[in-house]
Amino acid sequence: MRSISDTIARLKSGRGLAGAHPPPVSRLSRLTDFGANPGALGAHVYVPANLARNAPLVVALHGCTQTAAGYDHGSGWSQLADRHGFALLFPEQQRPNNPNLCFNWFAPQHVTRGSGEAASIAGMVDAVVQGHGLDRTRIHITGLSAGGAMTAAMLATYPEMFAGGAIIAGLPFGCAGSVSEAFERMRGQGLPSERGLEATVRRASRHDGPWPTLSLWHGTADATVAPANMDALVGQWRGLHGLARESSEHNVLGRHRQRVWRDAAGTARIEAYEITGMGHGTPLDGADDLGAPGAFMLDAGISSTRHIARFWQLTTPGTELSVPAEDRSERPAARSTRPADEAPVPAWQGGASAAGVGKVIEDALRAAGLMR
């Protein structure tokens, strides 16, 4: 375990990142009427001019300290929606619920079907689908960090609602039920077994399949949410899909590892990207015209937004994303050998002061959304 002095140094080095750029001009419209809203969330939508009837819907959940408009600006989802004619829904956390704007992924009352934030997001989805005549068989959800963990919760509690999900630097559903457990899981400690995680999803609703497909993304140098959480997510969902433990493995762009699990028909059900050397955030390609690098929106030379949209078949074949064949090599999958005791200590965002070690720890918990 790393020392408290190292944690303090990481806290100080992260100060000010969230406010390093002026807030973007929002392309989104506020959604005000979506039912009871037991989680007291805000909501924004983006509907491109070329939206056709029965178009798909993408739900995007921001990370801690972020807003709906900021996450759209960084990820580029509305730019992609303009090009391919799908609608967007951005649930937004409110400060009275969580002062650091984190979705409350670790609180049982907010990740139970019919309750709290999960019920609010489901209500938003219903309202947008009905209001714009969207295709209920093509609803997808994605999120970063706390938004990624809430994405996992939505896929588990409302699996019939979503065709696919994409979790970026997130955690498996049901792995934590308290502040202390959440803190441990983010460090990669005490994660439940694959069988236990799978059972948690099965208990979350009466659904018995088919299950949403899953695209997973994690930086190998993520010091906020340990990469072991992506392996736990694979284990949680591989059993639900009835997939073998073995996967195909690809080298993407010469440096990133992608594993793919396919069903008996050859359809990819789970994919997992390990982005070499990347810390905590959404991977972007700073050299293209989609999205904008910033705090937690990281130029890793690869656009997760484009790849996820392609995995969900939202883009026209041959457009947006085409990893050349010569940049991809396939070989047998290798099991992860990352020791549990090497899980990195979280690097928290913002708020360190000279008030002492206790204050630093308290600020760290608040910044992660684990303390109010």
Catalytic annotation, residues:
145
Find where tokens 């080298």 sit. Answer: 251
Decide: 201 and 160 in contact? Cβ < 8 Å.
Answer: no
Cα–Cα distance between 336 and 138 in angstroms, integer?
33
Cα–Cα distance between 164 and 360 in angstroms, integer?
38
Provide the 3-class DSSP secondary structure of residue 91: strand
Question: How would you class 279 by CB atoms within 10 Å of its CB: exposed for 0-12, middle for 13-18, buried for 19 or more?
Answer: middle
Cα–Cα distance between 166 and 63 in angstroms, integer?
14
Burial 148-164 (b: 16+ CB within 10 A, else e): bbbbbbbbbbbbebbbb
Decide: 87 and 316 in contact? Cβ < 8 Å.
Answer: no
Decide: 62 and 147 in contact? Cβ < 8 Å.
Answer: yes
Distance of CA 327 to the CA centre of its chain: 26
Phi, psi (5° rounding) for residue 349? Answer: -100, 125
CA-closest candidate to residue 111, choices 160, 53, 38, 59: 38
Amino acid making up residue 297: M
Phi, psi (5° rounding) for residue 161? Answer: -80, -25
SS3 content of the chain, % helix, strand, coil (to 5): 35, 20, 50
DSSP letter string over 238-296?
A: HHHHT--S--EEEEETTTEEEEEEE-TTS-EEEEEEEETT--SSEEE-TTSSSS--BTT
